[in-house]
Structure 1
Amino acid sequence: MKDVGRTKLCLGLQIEHLTKGIFIHQSAYTEKVLKRFFMDEAHPLSTPMVVRSLDVNKDPFRPQEKDEEILGSEVLYLSEIGALMYLANTTRPDITFAVNLLARYSSAPTRRHLNGIKHILRYLKGTTDIGLFYAVNCSPNLVGYADAG
C-alpha cells in the first residue's frame, strides 16, 4: 500500500477538504450531463420544479390524457431520468422529489413530462456548485438512533 494523500476524486465524487469539514459535489458530472442532453447553453433557473396546482386538470405532472401524444423511443427520457437519479442519490437531494415524480411516467412520457426534465436540467445549470458539506464534529461522542419498532 502507498499513501498518496487525501482523496480528491472517488467514483465520480469530487471531494474538497476544507478547514471546517469536507465538501462533496459532482460539478464535473453535472456539466457532462448538461452537455450530453444539449442543455449546457440553457438559461439557468432557481427552482428544481414548477409550481404544482391543486387542481388535477391543471397539474403539469398529471398522467397522460386521451388526446396527448406519447413520446417515441427517439427521446432520451429514460437516460435523462437515470442521470438525474444518480445525481439525486449521491450529492443532490434537492432534486430528488422532482426526479422521482417524473420517473413515474417513464413508460409513457409526454411533452409535459419532458419539459419537467428540462426544467430540472436548467436548475442544475444554475446550481452546478451545490453539494453536501460534512462539518468537522467537535464532539468526541458518537450518537446513534434506532427504531424500537
Structure 2
Amino acid sequence: IVVYVDDINIVETSEELLEAIDYLKKEFEMKDLGMTKFYLGLQIEYLENEILVHQEVYITKVLKRFYMDKSHPLCTPMVVRSLDVNKNLFRPQEKDEEILSLEVPYLSAIGALMYLANYTRLDITFSVNLLA
C-alpha cells in the first residue's frame, strides 16, 4: 500500500486486492478509480508483460516552459568537450550552436531537469549535475 496525502495505491494479486479495497471501503469514504495511470507526476502504462513508468507529460511541459519545445531530440544528453575546470565547456563551439537565451531562468531549468534525473531519466544525471 502506497499512501501520499489522500491518494492510496494498492499493489497485490487480484483476490488480495479486492479484500483490501473492501476492508478500506468499510472503514473510510473512498472510491476506486481503477488502474493507476498517473501518480505523483509519474505516468504509468500497463503493457503485456511489463509496466512502463515515464514522465512524458512533465517533459513536454518543461520543454514549453523553457522555450525548447521546437528543439530536435538527440541520442545523447550532452557532449562533453573537456572536464578541464579552466575551460568554458558550454560556449558555442560551432557556428550553428546557440547560447541559452537570457529569457530562460537557468536555475529553474536545472531544478526541473534534476527532478527528472531523480525519478525516471537516470540517463541525464551526469549532464544535469555537471551543468548545476
Q: Given the alignment, which residue of 67, 72, 81 partners 1:38?
A: 67
Q: Give the secondary-structure state (helix, strand or coil) at the position aligned to 2:123.
A: helix
Contact 2:43 2:53 in 1 (8 A): yes
Deviation (angstroms), 1:3: 2.2
Larger Rg: 2
Q: Give the secondary-structure state (helix, strand or coil) at the position aligned to 1:23.
A: strand
Specify whether residues 54 and 2 from structure 1 end up closer, same or farther in structure 2 by C-alpha distance, changes over 3 A only.
Answer: closer
**1:98 matches 2:98:** no
Superposed CA deviations along residues 11-68 of structure 1, whole A, max 9, x for unmatched, are 111100112121000001101000000011112222101133265555616xxxxxxx
Q: Alpha carbon RMSD of aligned pairs, Å?
A: 2.3
Q: Give the secondary-structure state (helix, strand or coil) at the position aligned to 2:113.
A: helix
- The letter of the residue matching 1:26 is Q
Q: Paired residue for 1:17?
A: 46
**1:2 matches 2:31:** yes
TM-score, normalising length: structure 1: 0.55
Q: Paired residue for 2:15?
A: none
Counterparts of 1:44 and 1:38, CA distance in 2? 14
Specify whether residues 55 and 4 from structure 1 end up closer, same or farther in structure 2 by C-alpha distance, changes over 3 A only.
Answer: closer
Aligned residues: 93
Counterparts of 1:75 and 1:34, CA distance in 2? 11
Superposed CA deviations along residues 105-136 of structure 1, whole A, max 9, x for unmatched, are xxxxxxxxxxxxxxxxxxxxxxxxxxxxxxxx
Counterparts of 2:85 and 2:64, CA distance in 1? 34
TM-score, normalising length: structure 2: 0.62
Q: Give the secondary-structure state (helix, strand or coil) at the position aligned to 2:51.
A: strand
Q: Give the secondary-structure state (helix, strand or coil) at the position aligned to 2:69.
A: coil
